[in-house]
Amino acid sequence: MNPWQLIRRTVGRRSPANPQAHMTWAHTSVGRTVTRTGVFLKKQLWVWPIIAVVILSVIGLFVRSAIESTMKANLRSQLQTLLTAEAAMLEKWLEVHAANAETAANDPRLREQIGHLLVDEAASDEPVSRPDLSRVNSDIAKALAPIMASHDFIGYFVVDRSKEILASSHAVLIGQRDIRDYDQFLSRALDGEAVVSAPFPSVVMMQDEAGQVRTGEPTMYACAPIRDESFLIVGALALQLQPQREFTRILQLGQMGDSGETYAFDRNGRMVSNSRFDDDLILLGILPDQQLSRSILNVLIRDPGGDMTNGFRPTTRRSEMPMTRLVADAVEGRSGVDVEGYRDYRGVPVVGAWTWLPEYELGVATEIDLAEAFMPLTILRRTFWGLYGLLVVSAIAIFAFTVVVANLQREARKAAIEAQQLGQYTLETKLGAGAMGVVYKGHHSMLRRPTAIKLLDADRVNDASIQRFEREVQITCRLNHPSTIAIYDFGRTPEGVFYYAMEYLDGIDLQQLVEKYGAQPGGRVISILMQACGSLYE
């Protein structure tokens, strides 16, 4: 038969690849990998803290993200709720005083007195005489006394349609017209609205908290139109308020924690209520270091560009600084909440909510320091970092301990080899060395039998080399061919030196045979090859 036909028949009769064999190989491979991994983790203890750090990092990332999202949502809700409540209370207070001014302006006795005054002014080209002014002012003051006493008004004035002041509790105002600070709310009142102005510096002498009389004290007015019998607007009545008494107290109710505050501001970004941090503002140089120095009307809500409470000092004038994010949005008529953080007028990172009251030309804001708002998150973050640090230190310590122990074991193995003693075996001369180990001639201390002893190289001891060494001796010990050396013993010394003892054959190798005696006869070569091949075949 043609040899090629025989090969083709043989190939044709081959069975297809066995899937079960592949599955068995895969299962064995996976099992071997798992086993090696388990052995590695048992011996390399320093890996466990690193694994713990990785697991904690992943868990911490998700937990922190979830907690931060929840905290931001709750904080947003709290800020919005507080702002809504404060703005509602403030609007209610302003509406009540606007209604009080309207009630006073519609009082029949007041309308009668003001009507006489307006008629006298219109009927004569000459100013009303001083006695008449005194009498009319006295009558108007008597008419307004009940409502002023019951609603905490501290003064008043009456204007005609030309905005000339005809009567006032401050005599210096009588006869004046077109006072710039009065113009806006008087114009709205003469158009038929009952309004309350934003706080502004007084143009007349007023008592401050220390009892001193001076101008520039914070004041505000509730103003309403005065109508005649035909329901035509003939003038306006303005009732004076001190914002420190109720206006700022309402806003001071909206304080969260140790750093939260609620304040009001006008379109120019000027604070028109008191700040919680007046003493700090004096130390920071934002307020003058004077007795009774207050933030109301004296603080421009500007972003200094850095945290002044931590030593930052701006290099530009406060009036040239940009408005804070809160004020810039509010004066544009936008309400909002920011829980990501921005700088306030001290430069401190804060979170806050704000709204604009267009009817009163006022903005209302509530803020709290970012650090206090997210204090629980900061504590959680520090706790996690502490755990991370502890685990990293543990990993480093265990790793260092492992390295030290490994070095000590290596030195102990070398010392044992140098001492020429492995258990009951005494080493004599070195026979050779291979990729994995060294072979010595030796003898058993009790049997006195010459033995070849193979040692695993002390510098190459690892899991892979130990497994290869064990596999080598386990396979070799199962061989029974006469030309294969016999295995006598296998073990490990207390120092960790792996060895196995095998039959020692006293003679020369083939290289020495050829070099010493030259070419060998063919029959002898065949005999030697048959012995070697028989051993290899087994």
Cα–Cα distance measured from residue 466 to residue 265, given in angstroms and rounded to the nearest whole number: 80
For the cut 70, the answer to whether the pLDDT of residue 426 exceeds it is: yes
Question: What pLDDT sits at residue 380?
Answer: 76
Cα–Cα distance measured from residue 102 to residue 192, given in angstroms and rounded to the nearest whole number: 10
User: Interior CA angle at 317 toward 266 and 203, to 5°?
Assistant: 45
The torsion angles phi and psi of 334, rounded to 5 degrees, stand at -100, 135
Question: What pLDDT sits at residue 219?
Answer: 95
Chain segment 17-26, per-residue pLDDT in tens: 454 444 454 4
Chain segment 285-332, per-residue pLDDT in tens: 999 988 878 999 999 999 999 999 999 999 999 999 999 999 999 999
CA distances from 142 to 109, 147, 416 (A): 10, 10, 117
Q: What is the DSSP letter of 485?
A: P
27: exposed, middle or buried (Cβ count in 10 Å: 0-12, 13-18, 19+): exposed
Cα–Cα distance measured from residue 416 to residue 476, given in angstroms and rounded to the nearest whole number: 25
Question: What count of Cα atoms within 13 Å lies in the side-chain half-sphere of residue 119?
Answer: 9
Cα–Cα distance measured from residue 450 to residue 427, given in angstroms and rounded to the nearest whole number: 10
The torsion angles phi and psi of 77, rounded to 5 degrees, stand at -65, -40
Cα–Cα distance measured from residue 288 to residue 292, given in angstroms and rounded to the nearest whole number: 10
Chain segment 342-398, per-residue pLDDT in tens: 999 999 999 999 999 999 999 999 999 999 998 887 787 788 778 778 777 877 887
Cα–Cα distance measured from residue 221 to residue 241, given in angstroms and rounded to the nearest whole number: 6
- Among 110, 111, 102, which Cα is nearest to 228's? 111
CB 262 within 8 A of CB 366: yes
The torsion angles phi and psi of 328, rounded to 5 degrees, stand at -60, -40
CB 460 within 8 A of CB 454: no
Structural domains in the chain? 90-239 (3.30.450.20), 255-371 (3.30.450), 416-537 (3.30.200.20)
Q: Is residue 399 very low, low, confident or very high in pLDDT (cuts 50, 70, 90)?
A: confident
- Among 291, 340, 282, which Cα is nearest to 309's? 282
Mean pLDDT across 403-411: 76
For the cut 70, the answer to whether the pLDDT of residue 28 exceeds it is: no
For the cut 60, the answer to whether the pLDDT of residue 31 exceeds it is: no
Lowest-confidence region among 205-214, 412-421, 525-534: 412-421
Chain segment 213-223, per-residue pLDDT in tens: 888 899 999 99
